[in-house]
Structure 1
């Protein structure tokens, strides 16, 4: 279940997009569809990028939403570490804190490089940041210790979906020969 902070930020981003749209830029439904159709979860993608003004804005907004989601998950991990009693799960979550800190740094760098139109570099940061989250995710599936489902499994999956949306959008920004 997503946090209130995530939905608050989504509302703010949506209002900014709507405001931007009324200032002369109109969302291109075909563009949005071309990003969301190949994504893992079409409905999720539409809920994230809904009415962006252009492809560059769509990429930046997707990266921002991902960073917000990562921050929400960091908050969730912190709370879980202090609430749970199982030492294996707590140990894994402590390692996930580090993974998510690195992921956030990489997605922030992706935002910066996308802003500068350094799209290959941006995709590298998205890949590395996603791999950070995969490291956390796999820790529960491979051990050491018993295999289990991560208490942040849904959060991890949302980051994977968002990463896919970012990759599709940024790839479309790369000039094709």
Structure 2
């Protein structure tokens, strides 16, 4: 159990480091020329996380609001989906209250993925109303998962923080359509 928790923590940290290192070191991925990333990230609680995340995608430089929305929701979808895999792995090695908490998280992340995928579908069909609500629900699912562990150490804390942060970026991008 300790080994799988350590491995999951390592994977989550590696994901965040990867986002930061791609944005910082890759010459083909630069900050968006339009200042749209700056405008969006100023609306989030963690400007650096937002900027690093958005600039980790090669579609970001010069992106318009629709492309930036696709980038943000795609990043959130990727994180939510990978966390679902983590939960499945943890469930196979857990018992007792931790198992019950992980089962709740499994449902929470199913909700998060569904809401994010609905937002991506809406973007594809040029339906922009309600993107902020869908993003908020995905972030709420991460909060609910974390709350499930009330008093117990959560093996998903870092994943929940990352999804919450990505959801906040999605909300800020969605506000571009208002």
Q: TM-score range by the shorter chain?
A: 0.7 to 0.9
TM-score normalised to structure 2 length: 0.76
Unaligned runs of 5+ in 1: 142-146
Match of 1:134 among 116, 140, 143: 143
What is the number of equivalent residue pairs in this alignment? 158
Partner of 1:173: 177
Partner of 2:70: 60
1:22-68 CA distances to partner (integer Å, 9 max, x unpaired)? Answer: xxxx9335211111122122221112111342221111111011011
Contact kept? 2:135, 2:168, Cα under 8 Å: no
TM-score normalised to structure 1 length: 0.76
Partner of 1:47: 52
Contact kept? 2:101, 2:149, Cα under 8 Å: yes
Match of 1:151 among 133, 155, 165: 155
Match of 1:34 among 6, 17, 39: 39
1:152 is displaced (CA, Å) by 0.2
Describe the SS at the equivalent of 2:38: helix
Out of 51-60 and 96-105, give the one that drifted further. 51-60
Partner of 2:4: none
Contact kept? 1:39, 1:168, Cα under 8 Å: yes
Partner of 1:74: 84
Unaligned runs of 5+ in 2: 1-9
Alpha-carbon RMSD: 2.8
